[in-house]
Structures are given as C-alpha cells and as structure tokens.
C-alpha cells in the first residue's frame, strides 16, 4: 500500500472541470502538431494525452477507453471516450464535448456507460457503442462518485457522500457566517481533504426508461466510508454473480482508532435481507480489491497480514464463497501482487514488481504454480484476459501509458492505442540503463541511470541523485508528470535513481529494512550510488545535485547536513523536516507509528528515540549548500509548515534558498500551469548552481 502514498503520480485521475474545446484542439489535439525541439520541455510534457481506464465489451470484440488532455492557456483539462475494435486495433472517438466523460464501462447488455456533469452534477449516462442514443440514467441529489451494474443489469450500485456529523452551522444556526470546524477526535482530515462526509454505497433498482434518483444506503448511519480514503474506487466493491450481494471494503473504526489502524475488511451485504457479514474477520491488515471468479464460487483479493503496517507484503488469497475456506497462494512468492483478474475458474492474472519493473504473472489454482509471463524495461499497469490473449496497459520512463495486446505464451506485446505517437515520434529520449551497484554492506543494488538525449561520452555532465519517496515505493519504470526522468535528462543532466533499501521488488527483507531506520542504511545506499557513478569520466563530480519528494524530501534535508560537500544544490518537495512534528501532524497515524518506531514521549523505546534524534532539523548547523524547497498548503500527509521551516532555517543560516509555495496543491502538483511552473523552477534552480 505504501507505494500509493508518496510515489509520483503516474496516471492522473480525470479532473472535474470544463474546457473550451476549440482552444484545446488548437493547443494540443492538432494531428500535425510540430515541436520546436526534439527534446522534452515542460510544455511538451503537459501536452501528452493521458490514457484513462479501459473496459472490454461483453462480447470481447471491443474496448472503450478515455484520453485526458490539458489546456495550458485555460489551465484545465477535458476527457473523451474512444472505442477500439479489437480485431484490427482501429479506434474511433465517441465523444467530443465541453464537459468530461469518465468512469467509462460496458453495461451487461453491451451499451457504454460513463459519468459526466452535463446535467450540472456528476451523473450516470449511457449510449450505444456507436455513440448514439445518449441517455441520462441517474439524477441523484449532489451527484454520484462511481457505479457498478449488477450482472443482469437489474440493479445499480452507486457511490454518494453522506453527512453524518453536525457542523458549527447545525449547532449554531444563528451564526451562518461562522467559518470554523469543531473537531472532537482524530482523522478530521485526510490526504488533501477535510473529512466532512462519508462515501457510502447505495443500491437501486434499474428499470429501463426510469431515472434513478435515490437508493438504499447499505451502510446507513455508519461513520466510515467505502471505498476507503484516499484512493479507493469501485475496484473496492463488487457484485456477487447472482446479483443478490455486494462485497465492499471498509475500515469500520472511528477517530483515533481509525487513524492508527490499517485493518480493512471485506463485507458481504445481502440485498434481500439487508444483513452484512464480515468475510475476512480476524485478518488484521489491508484486505482489498476483491474479484469474483466467472462461476461466482470464488473470491480472490489482496491481503496484508499486519495491522498498522501499510507496506507489508501484499498476498494473494482466494476464498470459497460457499464454505468460507480461505487459501493463500503466495507464501513462497517473495513479491507483492496487484491488479488481480480472472481468466477462468482456475486461472488468475496479476501484476507484480520484480527488480524495478512491473510484469504480468499467471497463477493456476489447481497446482498453485505462479508463472512470470513478461520481461522488459517497462511497467505493466493493468491486465485483462480477452479470448486467447491479454489486453494490458504499459508505461516506461520513456513513454506514457498505451494499450497493448499481449501473447500469454511468449510475453510479446503489440501496441494498439498510439495515443501519443505523433509527439513521441518527434522526441529523442535519453538512454535508460540499469546498473547493479555494491552497497556499504556488500549487497547489490539496482540503480537506473538516465542519460541526456544526444549523450556524448566524451563530454562531462552534471548529475542528479534522485531520492525516492514512500518510503517504500519502488523506483520502477514509472512515467510521471512531475518526477519525469526524461524531462530532467533533457535539461542536460545524468540522473542516478537507486532502488535503495526500503523499496519493494527485491524481497520483503530489503523492503522492510527502512522501518525505524530512516537515517540508516538507505542513506548509505544513496551515497553508494552517486559515489560509484561520479567515477565515470563523463560525470563532473563537482556538479552534483540531489532531489526528492516526501521521504525523498526527508532524504534531501538529512543529506544536506551529512553529505560532506558532495552536492552543490538540493531540491526538496513536501519533505519531512522535523520528525517530531511529523509524528503529531500527519493524518494516517499508523504510518508514523510503524515507520518511526513509536512515539516521541516513549523514552525507553530505542528505535523511536533514534528516529527522532536523527530528525533533519537537528543538523541544520551543518547545512552549507543552496536549497530549493517546494510545498503545497493542502498537503495533509506532510504539513506545509515542514517546508516553510526548512526554508526559514536555510535563510537564517545564510544559505541561498528559494521557497516555491502552492496554496491550492496537495502532496502532488496536479494543476497544469502549476505543473509547468514546477518544472521551470526545478530546472532553473539546478541550472543556477550546477551549470
């Protein structure tokens, strides 16, 4: 789970804002768009079309997908729906509107459903596969946040926020202009939102031709949500095959108990009786993302063992829904699993990270054999069995997501979507290579090296050490619109990106080492990587920079006081500066409790005390290098005061520093113009001190 928290945002969700389509077409969708240069710029990076979710038709002859484009001038985005013929790979655009279509799926009877705000709020719509006969299906007050049809389309499950707490205006109706929150317990904010409502699943009868306006809240009165904040979507809910039950994920705890626990369970709600059963009672970690076998007899899901440890091994479990018998299939598989999907009643496909690439694997239940199907310098991000082949989405450090057809026998893939071909054909990407570098404790560490486009080994280049966040999120072949390695390399830098201790993909022992030891072996791993690479004749060891976000920002702040003059410039985005304040200020307390080893007041806890003794702010007296600090005000994971404190400390020390502050951004930077500003400021700072 931790890789979802601090890693770069790879596939952005659709942003709910309108767009002036003609301006966008002129700026981004012109087929013969010509680039001014053959290397990446921030403007080019933000002109890529961003592939959304894909859905295969019931007859397995077609699929639908979305593409989102951003308009720099309008500082907004839009998305459209496309239909692909799987027989020949041709695509047809189905929508072209000023509002956004998203959450696109096929209905059980072969129509295309999607959400959009055409009616003024986000509602469910339906159209024929050729884009005709557009119909609005819901008119739920306040809009919906997701949906799933029952297998026979007789019912609809939809998501809606419900208010269960009284706010200050409910308590004091004579003070309508009061602007305040009255807080009584923990977990009053999460990620980038204040917790003012709970998302609940609703079930309604679907009758063709009748608008759905309300439904039965299957968690009525319960002060927790499903899907689970902050990332959960409809992958956390599913219908049983008979349409008589809904299985949903929830963490049924409140306040301080919620904030300290990762114990989510899978619950079965009986539509007829209204009764709810906990299917995973006694399983203490995350249980999530359940999928039902074609015959409806089995449920597979992702499970963690330990409560409070969100970077625990993600195991693959299967339950017999009739008997309740559970079985783990990954006891001897020292990797995480994700993106489970059934091919038949005996075969599951999934995605797993191994040595910093995400590959497709197959599990056969009858013999328990797990087989790796693909190999390459890429990340597969989803897989769907279709007929005798697989449909998958794939990214790399050199290419954003596209749709591929994969041969499960050979692992070879064929690109189908070509969303960004016209831009990519004009760009020269830097070479990406992997190196195994020896660490101080004589281990081998995979490190990605990204070279500038048109690299000349006879020249000397400045280099950047990239510090990954998470802390337990892999430096794999991800494509990011912020931490984009090709963007950094295009500015004339060699990027050194180590898979240091505390990252998945290299076994659970390697992954777990960092917990309670933020300033330990993994920091040495960073230095091993840059010290080895600076020996190369084409790297100028007098022009080294160090950058990172979140835990990577902690790494930058810590190295600023311990780097022995290796680096000439630092950049820290949303980094942890003061560990004690981080323990008290973050919202997911289970994270701080586990990773820091305990509370600051527990003086007998040696692990916790070592953590707080090595807080970066305690070594500001050793800072001597220019630093750029970046932070967003709506970052509730690492409070914006951390970045402000680091900047203030640098200036009080007389060190050249700059503070890029985003009032409306969170742990990431999601706005188009803000994203371009981020890239420009990032490059300008490095250029100033390393060139």
Query: Could you tell me the CA-to-CA distances from 266 to 233, 249, 287, 324 in Å, in that order?
Result: 14, 5, 6, 12
Cα–Cα distance between 654 and 650 in angstroms, integer?
A: 6
Look up residue 276 and give its two tokens: 């709810």
- Grouping H, G, I as helix, E, B as strand and the rest as coil, residue 676 is helix
Tokens linked to 653: 């020390």
How far CA 124 is from CA of 14, 81, 141, 145, 159, in Å, comes to 15, 14, 12, 9, 11
Three-state SS across 128-189? Answer: CCCCCCCEECECCCCCCCCEEECCCCCEEEEEEEECCCCCHHHHCCCCCCCCCCCCCCCCCE
Please tell me what DSSP assigns to residue 54. Answer: E
Exposed, middle or buried by CB within 10 Å (0-12, 13-18, 19+), for 174?
exposed
The DSSP 8-state label assigned to residue 273 in this structure reads T
Strand partners, 466: 547
550 is a catalytic site residue: yes
- What is the three-class DSSP state of 64? strand
3 state SS of 283: coil
What is the b/e burial string over 176-205, where b = at least 16 CB atoms within 10 angstroms of the residue's CB?
Answer: eeeeeeeeeeebbbbbbeebeebbbbbbbe
Residue 396, SS3 per DSSP: strand
7 in active site: no
Closest by CA position to 640, among listed 580, 581, 681: 581
The one catalytic residue among 47, 550, 555, 615: 550
Contacting residues for 177 by C-beta, under 8 A, at least 6 apart: none
Question: Please, is 280 exposed, middle or buried when counting C-beta atoms within 10 Å of its C-beta (0-12, 13-18, 19+)?
Answer: buried
> Which of 428, 399, 400 has the alpha carbon at shortest distance from 69?
400
The alpha carbons of the chain give a radius of gyration, in whole angstroms, of 25
Cα-to-chain-centroid distance, residue 201: 23
Could you tell me if 46 and 72 are in contact, meaning their C-beta atoms sit under 8 angstroms apart? yes
Q: Measuring CA to CA, how many Å separate 313 from each of 2, 510, 569?
A: 10, 12, 36
Crossing angle of helices 521-533 and 551-560, in 10° steps, is 70
Question: Which tokens sit at 395?
Answer: 């990214």
Residue 548 pairs in a beta bridge with 467, 572
Give SS3 for 685.
helix
Q: Exposed/middle/buried for 508, CB within 10 Å: 0-12, 13-18, 19+?
A: middle
Q: What distance in Å separates the CA atoms of residue 651 and residue 28, rounded to the nearest whole number?
A: 41
Which of 312, 595, 635, 639 is labelled catalytic? 635
CA distance 377 to 379: 7
Based on the number of CB atoms within 10 Å of its own CB, is 64 exposed (0-12), middle (13-18) or buried (19 or more)?
Answer: buried
Question: The dihedral of CA 201, 203, 207, 212: what is its sign?
Answer: negative
Hey, is 276 helix, strand or coil?
strand
Q: Provide the angle, in degrees to the nearest 10, between the axes of the packed helices 606-613 and 589-596.
A: 100
Q: Are 380 and 358 in contact (CB under 8 A)?
A: yes
Closest alpha carbon to 381 in 398, 364, 403: 403
- Any idea which residues carry the catalytic annotation? 550, 635, 667
């Amino acid at each position: 789970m931790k890789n979802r928290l601090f890693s770069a945002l790879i596939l952005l969700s659709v942003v709910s804002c309108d767009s002036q389509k003609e301006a966008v077409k002129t700026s981004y969708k012109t087929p013969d768009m010509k680039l001014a240069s053959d290397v990446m710029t921030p403007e080019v990076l933000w002109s890529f079309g961003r592939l959304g979710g894909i859905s295969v038709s019931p007859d397995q002859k077609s699929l639908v997908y979305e593409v989102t484009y951003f308009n720099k001038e309008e500082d907004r985005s839009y998305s459209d729906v496309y239909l692909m013929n799987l027989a020949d790979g041709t695509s047809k655009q189905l929508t072209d509107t000023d509002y956004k279509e998203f959450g696109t799926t096929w209905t059980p009877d072969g129509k295309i459903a999607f959400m959009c705000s055409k009616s003024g709020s986000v509602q469910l719509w339906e159209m024929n596969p050729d884009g005709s006969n557009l119909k609005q299906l819901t008119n739920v007050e306040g809009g919906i946040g997701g949906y799933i049809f029952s297998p026979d389309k007789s019912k609809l499950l939809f998501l809606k926020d419900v208010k269960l707490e009284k706010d200050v205006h409910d308590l004091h109706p004579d003070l309508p202009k009061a602007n305040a929150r009255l807080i009584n317990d923990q977990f009053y904010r999460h990620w980038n939102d204040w917790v003012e409502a709970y998302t609940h699943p609703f079930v309604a009868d679907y009758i063709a031709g009748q608008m759905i306006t309300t439904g039965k809240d299957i968690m009525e009165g319960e002060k927790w949500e499903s899907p689970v904040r902050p990332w959960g979507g409809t992958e956390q809910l599913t219908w049983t095959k008979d349409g008589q039950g809904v299985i949903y994920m929830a963490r049924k705890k409140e306040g301080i108990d919620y904030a300290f626990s990762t114990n989510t369970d899978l619950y079965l709600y009986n539509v007829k009786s209204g009764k709810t059963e906990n299917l995973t009672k006694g399983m203490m970690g995350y249980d999530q993302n359940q999928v039902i076998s074609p015959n409806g007899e089995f449920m597979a899901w992702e499970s963690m063992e330990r409560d409070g440890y969100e970077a625990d091994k993600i195991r693959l479990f299967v339950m017999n829904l009739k008997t309740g018998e559970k079985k783990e299939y990954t006891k001897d598989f020292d990797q995480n699993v994700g993106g489970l999907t059934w091919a038949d009643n005996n075969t599951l496909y999934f995605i797993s990270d191994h040595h910093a690439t995400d590959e497709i694997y197959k599990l056969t239940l009858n013999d328990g054999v797990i087989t790796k199907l693909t190999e390459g310098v890429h990340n597969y991000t989803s897989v769907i069995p279709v007929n005798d082949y697989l449909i998958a989405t794939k990214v790399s450090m050199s290419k954003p997501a596209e749709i591929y057809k994969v041969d499960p026998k050979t692992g070879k893939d064929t690109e189908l979507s070509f969303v960004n071909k016209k831009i990519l054909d004009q760009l020269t990407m830097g070479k990406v290579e992997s190196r195994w570098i020896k660490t101080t404790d004589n281990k081998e560490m995979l490190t990605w090296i990204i070279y500038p486009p048109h690299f000349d080994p006879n020249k000397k280049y400045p280099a950047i050490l990239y510090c990954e966040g998470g802390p337990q999120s892999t430096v794999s072949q991800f494509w990011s619109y912020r931490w984009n390695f090709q963007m950094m390399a295009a500015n004339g830098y060699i990027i050194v990106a180590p898979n240091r201790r505390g990252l998945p993909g290299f076994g659970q022992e390697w992954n777990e080492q960092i917990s309670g030891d933020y300033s330990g072996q993994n920091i040495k791993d960073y230095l091993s990587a840059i010290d080895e690479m600076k020996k190369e004749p084409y790297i100028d060891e007098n022009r080294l920079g160090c950058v990172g976000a979140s835990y990577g920002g902690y790494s930058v702040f810590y190295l600023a006081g311990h780097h022995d003059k290796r680096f000439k410039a630092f950049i820290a985005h949303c980094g942890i500066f003061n560990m004690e304040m981080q323990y008290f200020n973050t919202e997911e307390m289970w994270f701080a409790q586990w990773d820091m080893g305990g509370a600051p007041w527990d003086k007998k806890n040696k692990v916790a005390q070592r953590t707080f003794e090595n807080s970066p702010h305690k070594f500001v007296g050793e800072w001597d290098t220019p630093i750029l600090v970046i932070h967003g005000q709506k970052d509730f994971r690492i409070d914006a005061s951390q970045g402000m404190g680091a900047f203030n400390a640098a200036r009080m020390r007389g060190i050249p520093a700059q503070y890029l502050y985003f009032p409306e951004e969170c742990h990431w930077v999601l706005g188009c113009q803000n994203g371009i500003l981020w890239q420009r400021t990032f490059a300008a700072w490095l250029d100033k001190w390393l060139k």
